[in-house]
């Protein structure tokens, strides 16, 4: 049976950072990959290259851009950047530990635990804000994607889930409750069908056994 070409989107979270390990709210702080994050990026890039990517667009924050650049080196594809794929801005929480945020903003943390979509850190963003910008960016890119194209978007945990949920028509609160977050250097693959976008995989990544442990 002849199979028609299908456009695909791969939403990829950046590798580990020291802030991830330390339980620190990053938001749009411009942090670097840890040594382990660099290893994760290399292993994931080797796996993702097998999915036949045709275009790579990344958040301009270093942790995502570095992750994406490794895939660009493996595939020979040029790098593009779009700040709309940045992580959720968490305002005054940026750089604070999870414990400090819980202690200083107990009502906000309680609201988040109930699944309420509040603005983070007094003057940050809500997930609704993130959904609006990442979806707009993705739709522009998808317009130019050929019928058999595979776009890789290198982004962040909340931003990545928000984008996937928006494309498949899942309410953000339900996505948070049922999907959880993308783990470091894990990805989701979506394919476009006549009825819209479908999620083929979620939270796929390279197993720890494949990643070197020399720098742990």
Q: Which residues are known to be catalytic?
A: 14, 87
Q: What angle do CA 75, 191, 132 make, to 5 degrees?
A: 95
- Contacting residues for 73 by C-beta, under 8 A, at least 6 apart: 45
Structure tokens at 178: 């049922």
β-strand partners of 12? 154, 187
Helix (H) or strand (E) holding 189: strand 187-193
Structure tokens at 71: 């895939």
Report the C-alpha gap between 156 and 60 in whole angstroms.
11
């Amino acid at each position: 049976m002849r199979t028609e070409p299908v456009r695909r989107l791969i939403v990829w979270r950046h590798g580990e950072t020291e802030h991830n390990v330390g339980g620190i709210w990053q938001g749009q702080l411009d942090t670097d990959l840890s040594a382990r994050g660099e290893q994760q990026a290399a292993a994931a890039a080797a796996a993702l290259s097998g999915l036949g990517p045709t275009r790579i667009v990344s958040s301009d924050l270093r942790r995502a851009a570095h992750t994406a650049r490794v895939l660009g080196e493996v595939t020979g594809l040029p790098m593009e950047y779009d700040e709309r794929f940045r992580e959720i801005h968490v305002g005054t929480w940026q750089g604070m530990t999870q414990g400090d945020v819980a202690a200083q903003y107990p009502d906000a943390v309680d609201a988040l635990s109930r699944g309420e979509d509040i603005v983070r850190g007094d003057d940050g963003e809500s997930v609704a804000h993130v959904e609006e910008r990442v979806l707009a960016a993705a739709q522009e890119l998808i317009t130019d994607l050929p019928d058999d194209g595979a776009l890789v978007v290198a982004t962040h945990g909340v931003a990545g889930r928000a984008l996937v949920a928006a494309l498949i028509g899942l309410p953000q609160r339900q996505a948070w409750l049922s999907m959880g977050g993308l783990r470091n250097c894990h990805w989701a693959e979506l394919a476009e069908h006549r009825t819209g976008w479908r999620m083929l995989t979620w939270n796929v990544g390279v197993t720890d056994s494949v990643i070197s442990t020399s720098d742990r």
